[in-house]
């Protein structure tokens, strides 16, 4: 039977290594590539830069599909309300999509899958957002997510290398496939604009990282040409405050699926072949495994993006302090290194991993004693690469709530940045009002004599804030509070009948559900 098929793009905004799209083309006479602007996503805190990235990625996808004599249909609404109409309007017989493990996506996909099956539509999903089927990793670990990177490495070593990516469909693959569309559809299903969402594009800065598969592959090529750099890459040796990114900035592309993680992995393998190279956890392969690690935890640990009800997360008595939170978010803590990073984040939508370390530690256990969940929300809004699993996992790490337990190691908001940027050039770039401070005061302008402040044209307390906390004092007090939280945790876990180190999964995932159904049919 020749199918009328919808391929549903959500993440996975690409043609290369898209096994669900290839499955859509099998025995297909009509193909409708669809993206649904979900009001749920819209109402959540997604900043304007991320919207711009998404719109760019959709335009790029549409243009690539048009080269295959197809196009992208963008619809607005809730997927469970939009699909039934499309199913009957287009007389759909097959639905394909990429498997997505975010809790919101799992419940959305469960609803849409049920609706499709009720109408007799074949549903095919494929795993291609992660290197591995992360359910398999959990299975291999006795039904629990591995809670250390070493454990994850041991399991993936057993599973062997990730599957090889598959090529994008060609005109030849599309020769018997049509995408019916009329002049009227052009407008009706067009790519939205920022203005349509009531967003003011004039507030945006320069677009340093444009969305889309073409740009992702171009960036990947550019980096893979630097053989020596790739082979010697060690994450801790990269710099949080270099003026040009010292890591790949492929994260937004991997998050939206403009770049397949497996394509990234195998391109690295090719570069490494026959050469001496760095290894996980610090190598670029190692970075992709960190992604896998947090994805696996996020699927296997209930309430992964929260402190309460999250069995691996230390329960900490964080303060609520709206003034501190706003000062951190709005880059007015009075610590130039922290404020420069938060300015870069707001303007450019990307900051280096160690810069994320610095501001996350400062907000939580280091200085302000504010919950990591608050930081997570701000990152979710402002990062182009905002990713549910990676954001939650890394915030737990940095706040020493889970995975990392050396809470007595606190980043100094003054000394840390100096290690890689003595002159403070990064601060000068993002906080130009401090640019005339001499290097010895740029990280601590409040220490500069009045005459130096006057000569720099910036008076602390008037033009730039005083530090909101005394780092030396609060960090010592916070280490003590953290010690107490850990002591409460060990008492609680020794009283608990089960050691709460990751639970066996109870609820059925979409994969389980579909597998169960398939076994019955
Ligand atoms: P590279 O060093 O070039 O690494 C290549 C790829 O590996 C990245 O694109 C990314 O996909 C993956 N990767 C690298 N580091 C990590 C890591 N620590 N954990 C998981 N995957 C990693 N990353 C996100 O993609 N989305 C987030 O929402 C996010 N939130 C974070 C929050 C905090 C508090 C911290 C400390 C880190 C967070 N990270 C997040 C992880 C990491 O900082 C970024 O992935 C990385 O800096 C992206 O830059 P890059 O592409 O140049 O990385």
> Which of 358, 368, 356 shows the shortest CA–CA distance to 393?
356
Does a cis peptide bond (omega within 30 degrees of 0) precede residue 281?
yes
pLDDT attached to residue 196: 85
Å from CA of 251 to ligand 1 middle? 6
| Sequence-separated (6 or more) residues with CB below 8 Å from residue 250 | 216, 219, 220, 223, 259, 264
Tokens at residue 426, please? Answer: 């990064």
For residues 232, 233, 236, 237, the Cα torsion angle rounded to the nearest 10 degrees is: 60
- Which is the closest atom of ligand 1 to the Cα of 356? 36
3-state secondary structure 70-104: CCCEEEECCHHHHHHHHHHHHCCCEEEEECCCCHH
Place of tokens 């401090």: 434
- Which is the closest atom of ligand 1 to the Cα of 261? 11
Å from CA of 111 to ligand 1 middle? 31
Mean pLDDT over residues 236-256, rounded?
97
Q: Is the pLDDT of residue 517 over 50?
A: no
Å from CA of 273 to ligand 1 middle? 25
Gap between the Cα atoms of 199 and 381, Å rounded: 14
- Which is the closest atom of ligand 1 to the Cα of 235? 2
pTM above 0.85, yes or no: yes
- pLDDT category of residue 186 using cuts at 50, 70 and 90: confident
**No. of helices (H) and no. of strands (E), the chain:** 24, 5
Tokens at residue 78, please? Answer: 């809730």
- pLDDT category of residue 519 using cuts at 50, 70 and 90: very low
Angle between helices 48-67 and 372-382 (to 10 degrees): 40
Q: Are 302 and 308 in contact (CB under 8 A)?
A: no
Give the residue, by CA position, lying nearest to ligand 1 atom 5. Answer: 287
pLDDT attached to residue 435: 98
pLDDT attached to residue 498: 44
Å from CA of 296 to ligand 1 middle? 15
Gap between the Cα atoms of 322 and 193, Å rounded: 33
Give the residue, by CA position, lying nearest to ligand 1 atom 10. Answer: 251
Q: Is the pLDDT of residue 323 over 70?
A: yes
Å from CA of 492 to ligand 1 middle? 32
| Sequence-separated (6 or more) residues with CB below 8 Å from residue 417 | 240, 241, 337, 358, 424, 426, 427, 443
Gap between the Cα atoms of 322 and 199, Å rounded: 25
Give the residue, by CA position, lying nearest to ligand 1 atom 33. Answer: 394
Q: Is the pLDDT of residue 493 over 80?
A: no
Angstrom CA distances, 260 to 54, 250, 394, stand at 16, 10, 21
Angstrom CA distances, 377 to 45, 118, 297, stand at 8, 37, 19
Give the residue, by CA position, lying nearest to ligand 1 atom 42. Answer: 353
């Amino acid at each position: 039977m020749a199918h009328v098929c919808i391929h549903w793009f959500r993440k996975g905004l690409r043609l290369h290594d898209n096994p669900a799209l290839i499955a859509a083309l099998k025995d297909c006479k009509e193909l409708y590539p669809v993206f649904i602007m979900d009001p749920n996503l819209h109402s959540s805190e997604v900043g304007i830069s991320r919207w711009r990235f998404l719109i760019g990625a959709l335009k790029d996808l549409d243009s690539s599909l048009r080269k295959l004599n197809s196009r992208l249909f963008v619809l607005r609404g809730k997927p469970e309300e939009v699909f039934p109409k499309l199913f009957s309007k287009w007389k759909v017989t097959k639905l394909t999509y990429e498997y997505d493990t975010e809790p919101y996506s799992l419940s959305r996909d469960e609803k849409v899958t049920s609706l499709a099956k009720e109408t007799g539509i074949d549903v095919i999903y494929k795993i291609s957002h992660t290197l591995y089927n992360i359910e398999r990793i959990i299975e291999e670990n006795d039904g629990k997510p591995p809670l250390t990177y070493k454990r994850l490495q041991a399991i993936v070593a057993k599973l062997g290398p990730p599957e090889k990516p598959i090529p994008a469909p060609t005109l030849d693959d599309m020769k018997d496939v049509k995408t019916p569309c009329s002049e009227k559809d052009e407008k009706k299903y067009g790519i939205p604009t920022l203005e349509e969402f009531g967003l003011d594009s004039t507030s945006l800065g320069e677009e340093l990282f444009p969305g889309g598969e073409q740009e992702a592959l171009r960036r990947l090529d550019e980096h893979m040409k630097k053989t020596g750099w790739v082979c010697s890459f060690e994450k801790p040796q990269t710099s949080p405050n270099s003026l040009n990114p010292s890591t790949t900035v492929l994260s937004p592309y991997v998050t939206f699926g403009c770049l397949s993680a497996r394509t990234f992995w195998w391109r690295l393998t090719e570069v490494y072949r026959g050469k001496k190279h760095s290894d996980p956890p610090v190598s670029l392969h190692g970075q992709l495994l960190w992604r896998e690690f947090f994805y696996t935890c996020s699927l296997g640990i209930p309430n992964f993006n929260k402190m309460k009800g999250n069995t691996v997360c230390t329960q900490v008595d964080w303060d609520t302090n709206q003034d501190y939170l706003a000062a951190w978010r709005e880059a007015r803590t009075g610590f130039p290194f922290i404020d420069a990073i938060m300015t870069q984040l707001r303007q450019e939508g990307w900051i280096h991993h160690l810069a994320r370390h610095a501001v996350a530690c400062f907000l939580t256990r280091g200085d302000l004693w504010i919950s990591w969940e608050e930081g997570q929300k701000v990152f979710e809004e402002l990062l182009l690469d905002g990713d549910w699993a990676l954001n939650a996992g890394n915030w737990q790490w940095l706040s020493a709530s889970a995975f990392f337990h050396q809470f007595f190691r606190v980043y100094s908001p003054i000394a840390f940045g100096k290690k890689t940027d003595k002159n403070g050039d990064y601060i000068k770039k993002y906080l130009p009002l401090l640019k005339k401070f001499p290097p010895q005061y740029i990280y601590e302008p409040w220490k500069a004599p009045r005459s130096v402040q006057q000569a720099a044209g910036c008076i602390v307390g008037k033009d730039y804030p005083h530090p909101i906390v005394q780092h030396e004092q609060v960090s010592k007090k916070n280490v003590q509070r953290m010690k107490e939280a850990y002591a409460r945790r060990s008492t609680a876990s020794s009283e608990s009948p089960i050691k709460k180190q990751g639970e066996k999964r109870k609820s059925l995932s979409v994969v389980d559900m579909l597998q169960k159904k398939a076994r019955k049919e």
